[in-house]
């Protein structure tokens, strides 16, 4: 069998917040809202069924879009039409039926195999961006029910060039830690007020960096690591293991 070849694609991933917290009836309703919003937004960007492939992920949807569709048109539509659609569907909905979305727009190479499976590192990275804590935190803090980030390739190829309707100054750089290394993306709108503005990379650095030496107290040795010997073969005073107050 001839191997499936990767082709250039535009990738749009959209996920529903707190989907699993709802009961079955509410989940069915949210799915109808999700697919309706995505269909209307893509049609507004001139993307009909012949220009896209869809993967249903229950609480999320992934779209592979023909690269012939201008990214500028799609991104403008995501910035304008998705918030408008959310205002429309949520305005009269009960609290249990409110839908909130986070989205990722990326570009890269994806192969569709003989089992209709999608394969590609660029797609894997887009999925990791969709699950990034910075994007989740941004959605939690916003009142417009929507948070969007774009991949580095979309930012460098489209956003930074200040195309009409795509304000580059509204996108802010974030770094997402993955098992294959840090990923750079660009969040639209204010950065979330997280305790650590770059939690993933900061944690990575903390794990990799050696601990700074701790001061020795005047009453003895504050021991917090492996003992490799004592100076001049002599230890005086107490030895403290762990935190303060733990003396042995």
- At 5 the three-state DSSP class reads coil
How far apart are the C-alpha atoms of 199 and 182, rounded to whole Å? Answer: 11
**Angle, CA of 129, 187 and 148, to the nearest 5°:** 70
Q: 182: which strand partners? A: 177
Q: What distance, in Å, lies between the first and last C-alpha atoms of the chain?
A: 69
- Residue by residue, pLDDT tens for the chain (248 residues) are 455 899 999 999 999 998 988 889 999 999 999 999 999 999 999 999 999 999 998 899 999 999 999 999 999 999 999 999 999 999 988 888 899 999 999 999 999 998 889 999 999 999 999 999 999 999 999 988 999 999 999 999 999 999 999 999 999 999 998 888 899 999 999 999 874 445 444 433 333 333 334 444 444 444 444 444 444 444 444 444 444 444 44
Residue with tokens 């001061």: 215
How far apart are the C-alpha atoms of 87 and 149, rounded to whole Å? Answer: 20
How far apart are the C-alpha atoms of 106 and 43, rounded to whole Å? Answer: 19
Show the tokens assigned to 95.
């609290």
Rg, Å, the chain Cα set: 24
* CATH number of this structure's domain 7-198: 3.30.70.1230
Residue with tokens 């009409």: 164
How far apart are the C-alpha atoms of 7 and 124, rounded to whole Å? Answer: 15
* Chain centre distance of CA 225: 36
- Name the residue among 80, 78, 77, 74 with its Cα closest to residue 51: 74
**Ranges of each domain in the chain:** 7-198, 210-248
Contact 10, 71 (CB under 8 A): yes
Alpha helices of 60-215 — where are they, by DSSP H? 71-90, 121-130, 133-141, 152-157, 199-208
Tally of CA atoms within 13 A in the half-sphere of 73 that contains its CB: 14
């Amino acid at each position: 069998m001839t191997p499936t070849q990767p082709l250039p694609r535009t990738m749009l991933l959209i996920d529903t917040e707190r989907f699993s917290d709802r009961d079955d009836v509410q989940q069915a309703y949210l799915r109808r809202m999700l697919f309706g919003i995505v269909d209307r937004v893509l049609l507004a960007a001139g993307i009909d069924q012949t220009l896209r492939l869809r993967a249903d992920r229950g609480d999320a949807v992934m779209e592979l879009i023909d690269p012939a569709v201008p990214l500028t048109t799609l991104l403008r539509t995501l910035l304008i039409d998705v918030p408008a659609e959310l205002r429309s569907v949520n305005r009269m909905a009960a609290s249990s039926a409110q839908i909130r979305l986070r989205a990722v727009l990326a570009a890269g190479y994806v192969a569709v195999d003989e089992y209709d499976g999608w394969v590609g590192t660029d797609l894997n990275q887009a999925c990791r961006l969709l699950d990034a804590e910075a994007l989740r935190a941004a959605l939690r803090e916003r009142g417009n029910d929507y948070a969007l980030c774009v991949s580095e390739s979309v930012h460098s190829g489209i956003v930074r060039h200040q195309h009409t309707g795509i304000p580059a100054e509204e996108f802010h750089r974030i770094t997402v830690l993955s098992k294959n290394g840090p990923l750079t993306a660009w969040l639209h709108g204010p950065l979330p007020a997280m305790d650590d503005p770059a939690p993933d990379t900061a944690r990575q650095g903390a794990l990799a960096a050696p601990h700074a030496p701790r001061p020795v107290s005047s009453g003895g040795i504050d021991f917090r690591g492996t003992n490799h010997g004592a100076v001049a073969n002599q230890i005086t005073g107490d030895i403290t293991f762990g935190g303060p107050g733990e003396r042995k």
